Amino acid sequence: MNSDESLVVVAIDGPAGSGKSTVARLVADRLELEYLDTGAMYRAVTFAAMNADCDLDDAAAVGAVASALALEMPPSGEVVVNGHDATTAIRGPEVTAAVSTVAAHPDVRAELVGRQREWARERGGGVLEGRDIGSVVFPDAVAKIYLTASEEVRAARRAGEEGATDRDAVAADLARRDALDSQRTADPLRQADDAIEIDTSHLSIDEVVALIEELVGRARGL
């Protein structure tokens, strides 16, 4: 038996703009679990590699940056990378443009997947949000949710979050990142066979959270 079977892991995957972060945070609050934004970890490695003037296509160099990364992500939401508060910088356009390249390197993924598993084991579980949580990180998660939304809705949400006015540019960037994230060889974005898909295009945040809470309750026999 795999010791992970006793963990209460809720896996929330899906493409950018599907509503994962907002929903995962609220689900964690409702279930009194901690929340881990795994995308922020890939962004943190990207930030550190850029600061080290690393060639982002150099898999070995970026992998070394990932292995050496001192990363703190307290529940209050800050992301501290090698001692620097990078909470804002990791969401900036430079990191956003480069993160898919970094996330495609197998060594980077192996390092971060290991840290994500350790994070959950230390806490008895948690709500993990990302692209490969249900398919790779915790295939035995109690509940696996795959959030989607139409391209139009996803672009509108991202434009709102970023305060961007050029909706077409945001849509083009999302499409580019989706393509990179789903076509890479290492752990591409994909829906796990047994994940439950929720299309959030026409649902309120509260409706999505209630649906997930119900699914987790049912899966746990509560």
Footprint of ligand DC on this chain (CB under 6 A)?
16, 38-39, 42-43, 99-100, 103, 130-132, 177, 181
- What is the layout of strands, in order, in the sheet containing 80-81? 71-72, 80-81, 84-85
55, β-bridge pairs = none
Structure tokens at 108: 């980077």
Structure tokens at 101: 């390249």
Nearest to 219 by CA among 150, 142, 163: 142
Largest distance between two CA atoms of the chain: 52
- Measured from the CB atom, the residue of 7 and 220 that comes closer to ligand DC is 7
> Rounded to whole angstroms, how far apart are CA atoms 5 and 140?
7
- Measured from the CB atom, the residue of 126 and 130 that comes closer to ligand DC is 130
152: burial class by Cβ within 10 Å (0-12, 13-18, 19+)?
Answer: exposed
Give min distance, CB of 173 to ligand DC, in A.
11
Structure tokens at 15: 């493409």
Tell me the one-letter amino acid at 69: L
- Measured from the CB atom, the residue of 176 and 218 that comes closer to ligand DC is 176
Give min distance, CB of 38 to ligand DC, in A.
4
Give min distance, CB of 78 to ligand DC, in A.
15
- Measured from the CB atom, the residue of 100 and 148 that comes closer to ligand DC is 100
Specify whether the CB–CB gap between 81 and 47 falls below 8 A: yes
In sign, the C-alpha dihedral spanning 123, 110, 112, 142 is negative
- Measured from the CB atom, the residue of 93 and 217 that comes closer to ligand DC is 93
Give min distance, CB of 14 to ligand DC, in A.
9
Give min distance, CB of 1 to ligand DC, in A.
26
Give min distance, CB of 222 to ligand DC, in A.
27
> Rounded to whole angstroms, how far apart are CA atoms 104 and 107?
9
- Measured from the CB atom, the residue of 131 and 157 that comes closer to ligand DC is 131
